[in-house]
Structure 1
Amino acid sequence: MEYRKLNGQYENLLEKNAHYENLAMIDALTQIPNRRFLDDIYTKLYKEHIRDNTNLAVFMIDIDCFKAYNDFYGHVKGDEVLIQIAKTLQKTLKRPSDFIARYGGEEFVVLLKDISLDGASTMANQLILAIKLLQIPHEKSKTIPYITISIGIAFKDAAAKVTQAELLAYADKALYKAKESGKNGYVVCEKVI
């Protein structure tokens, strides 16, 4: 009798632990993986891409002029936009291995394993178009009067000697170039890796 009671309590604790682990890995607002989850998955995918001798693309995505959006429309509307953007980006990714996470604020990271540079460019265009098609009004935007995104892409083949951190940093640098060159587009990191 005592054994069954203890076993039931143990099972209950396991369920609660799994629930809390899930909460710790999911962004509360957007309901997509958070940065902590990204860190775990990125390490795993990075090792897999080297082991399997495949390519890896890292996208750093930012919502254009989002501070101006929040200032004009308010943070409640801004939160609604973040939720919509996250769902749309997630829905636009097609393969089971494609991964998206909220990186922080209005930034997202996408990891695409076993993809060509042309495939990564095609996916970037699809993500940009999917957000444009939402036609979320943004009167204070400096590009078009709708919410848009910019993407920085870092692309690596398995043989390249680039660390995970460097690859992410290259995507971030490419994002800044995309923002500087007019937003609402993507830039591939110039560094050959």
Structure 2
Amino acid sequence: MILSPEFYERDAVTVAKDLLGCLLVHQGEAGTAAGWIVEDEAYLRGDPAAHSYRGETKRNRVLFGPPGRAYIYRIYGMYTCIDVVTGPRGAGEAVLVRALEPAIGIDLMQERRGTNDPVALASGPGKLTEALGITMDLNGTSLRDGPLLVWSPESLPGRRPKGWPGEVVQTTRIGITKAADLPLRFYLKGSRYVSRR
């Protein structure tokens, strides 16, 4: 149950809220790993904290391309993060996926992360990319027809992330210094898998 192209063509705030409860799936050579998105952050056009703020560069070009692509980048020279490109082409808007509740391939995720603690597997943007095996090679790939996909919340019959559907908490973003006061972080209230309460 892959999301439609129109899903991603909306503004980042709307997409961020609607991504909660969806499954981020990576079908790699080692196997399939996936988790429900339980926390994310919106980055807007003209947002001083967004990678697109200073305009298009070689590094951030994916942000200005078609919506529904994965923008993957490194932070602190060691951690990989994944953003979902949103809005009209050229807008430079995206949603950072901050935390997942593990759903598929948990053994593989545990092996990659070196922990059996389900809460520690993907409760942060660097943790979740390591758990799912998401690397820089996937930068710019479509989230509709590649090895990296986003499925709707109904994709696993009888299974749902804790707290979905339910109350969405809206608060300020984490780990940034610019525009840190904007309430553009969203998470499922009942989830214990979020990176920070």
Larger fraction in strand: 2
TM score, norm. by length of structure 2: 0.32
Larger fraction in helix: 1
TM score, norm. by length of structure 1: 0.32
